[in-house]
Copies of this chain bind each other. A is one copy, B any other.
Amino acid sequence: MRVEWALRLKGVEYEYIEEDIFNKTPLLLELNPVHKKVPVLIQGEKVILESFIILEYIDETWKQYPILPQDPYDRAMARFWAKVGEEKFLWDTCMAVWTQFEEEKEGYLKQAIESLQKIEEVLIKGKSKFFGGEKIGYLDIALGWISYWLPVWEEVGSMKIVDPILFPSITAWMENIRNHPVIKDKLPPRDKMVAYFQGRKKEIGASMAAARKG
């Protein structure tokens, strides 16, 4: 979705090809033999991999509507918080959803909330509608999953991370992201996603527990 959002912000036409990440096509395995992951951006004969790398590529290739900040330090900060969101906050959130062990879940939730507090502070300091200012930028795209997927996963995991009292800025930002014209009509039906991840939770939780024993 990050890639689609960036392309839409820039007004670049594209064709979207669906991949079931739990049942990958030979095309995906051929295009991304190292990680076997989506997203993959194909432009003519060029194949670009990894969502953050694709975002930088898009920003460097189509100059209209710059998504990264212009100042080197602001760029570094946007990249840093994107990485924290991905490697810490997203990771802890997913682990909290999937794990079958209550104590472990509490640990992941605690860490996730700590990361989100730091992200909330970034938003408070910026004093604007989005991380990127009054317009959506790189960090908004990188963290955008929080606005839509996090509530889905909170429901699937029977847990709460984004308490509106503790995270007023993030809560307002989530609403701004979900209502953005580029994003609004690209979100899949929520009920379908909840049902999908509820099914996956059982499978993944069981295989995680089995891997530990083995």
A residues lining the B interface (CB < 8 Å) = 33-35, 46, 48-50, 53-54, 56-57, 60-61, 72-73, 75-76, 79-80, 83-84, 88, 115, 118
Contacts and interface: CB of A to CB of B under 8 A. Distances in A.
A92 to B, nearest CB: 12
Contacts of A88: 34
A57 B34 contact: no
B79 A53 contact: yes
Contacts of A33: 118
Interface of A is mostly: helix
B72 A60 contact: yes
A53 B37 CA distance: 23
Nearest to A212: B212
Nearest to A45: B73
Contacts of A56: 75-76, 79
A83 B48 contact: no
Given A34-B118, A61-B72, 10 more contacts: A35-B84, A48-B80, A49-B76, A50-B80, A50-B83, A53-B76, A53-B80, A56-B75, A56-B76, A57-B72
Contacts of A49: 76, 80
B60 A75 contact: yes
Top 5 nearest A-B pairs (CB, nearest first) are: A60-B72, A57-B76, A61-B72, A53-B79, A48-B76
A76 B61 CA distance: 11
A49 B87 CA distance: 14
Contacts of A57: 72-73, 75-76
A73 B53 contact: no
A49 B46 CA distance: 31
A87 to B, nearest CB: 9
A54 B34 contact: no
Nearest to A62: B72
Nearest to A70: B60
